[in-house]
Structure 1
């Protein structure tokens, strides 16, 4: 359970960092840079802690896949980015890929 919590917080940190990167590119607010640096640093640190408990292939698939899906949804919500049926399809395929790795791949 501890590894999954580390992974959840790693994903959250990565989403905050990536969203802050977008804020910086749009508004040139230097506070955003602090969130980018701290977010990515904490994300990688937490991911490394999660890897003590969760297999690499599973942890990275979840971290990258859910991070990508959440960042896409954040872009739609905060920045009014377009969201088409192709976005839905792409995110669905990411989630399906993560699910396949979790269900069908041996854990060790």
Structure 2
């Protein structure tokens, strides 16, 4: 169940961060509400994740996947297209998360 909660935490964080771009300094009510709700849910689910997945591993996955999804959301919703070095960097982050999940004995499966 830990990985289900982790996926929910990541989704909530990505929604919150995407809305953060649109809330215009918390001057727009709907995007601001999504930011607060998204981050609240993200941290709630992350707290549940930490019952079964070690903190460092959970955070590495959360941050790594979140960075890539935020990059995609920025490209789709705000036309913020990452350049080649940014895409390579994101690829390295995904590779690092994959190495952790495949090879680390710290990960509880």
Establish whether TM, by shorter chain, passes 0.5. yes
Q: TM-score, normalised by structure 2?
A: 0.90
Structure 2 stretches of 5 or more lacking a match? none
Give unpaired runs (5+ residues) of structure 1: none
Which is worse superposed, 55-64 or 21-30? 21-30
Residues 19, 60 of structure 1: alpha-carbon distance in 2 compared, 3 angstrom cutoff: same
What is the alpha-carbon distance in structure 2 between the residues aligned to residue 12 and residue 25 of structure 1? 21
Q: For 1:45-97, what per-residue CA distance to the aligned partner results, in whole angstroms no more than 9, with x for missing partners?
A: 10010111112122111101101110011000110012221121011011011
Deviates more, 1:9-18 or 1:23-32: 23-32
Residues in 2 aligned to 1:26 and 1:41: alpha-carbon distance in whole angstroms: 18
- CA shift at 1:30, angstroms? 1.4
Which residue of the partner structure matches residue 72 of structure 1? 71
Contact in 1 for aligned 2:26/2:32 (Cα 8 Å): no
Please give the TM-score of this superposition, normalised by the length of structure 1. 0.91
User: In 2, Cα distance between the equivalents of 1:25 and 1:77?
Assistant: 18
Query: 1:26 Cα shift?
Result: 8.0
Higher helix share: 1
RMSD, aligned CA: 1.6
Within-5 A mapping of 1:1-108: 2-25=1-24, 28-107=27-106
Decide whether aligned partners of structure 1 residues 89 and 72 sit closer, same or farther in structure 2, where only a CA change above 3 A counts. same
Q: How many residues align?
A: 107
